[in-house]
Amino acid sequence: MRLFKPRGTERRDWLRRNKLTIIIAVAFIVMAAFNVEQGRVINAQRTLIQLLSGDSSELAMRRVQDLRRHR
């Protein structure tokens, strides 16, 4: 049995014992980042759909007005 460990082995031992915990923590952080980004994309799409809906309504109104003028 050794009385002392070579320098740096405590850190390696700690990493070996906590490898799964570290992997899970990193995966959780990555998934949280993806979740935040997905929320931003959904909000951007919602805004775009609202703008396109307004443009579509305006275009339909102009077409109706043009049809009324040409009658």
State the Cα–Cα distance between residues 27 and 47, nearest whole angstrom.
30
Mean pLDDT, the chain, rounded, equals 88
Q: What is the pLDDT of residues 5-37, one digit of tens each?
A: 666 678 888 888 999 999 999 999 999 999 999
Phi, psi of 70 (to 5 degrees): -85, 0
Higher pLDDT, 66 or 6: 66
DSSP 11-68: HHHHHHHTHHHHHHHHHHHHHHHHHHHHHHHHHHHHHHHHHHHHHHHHHHHHHHHHHH
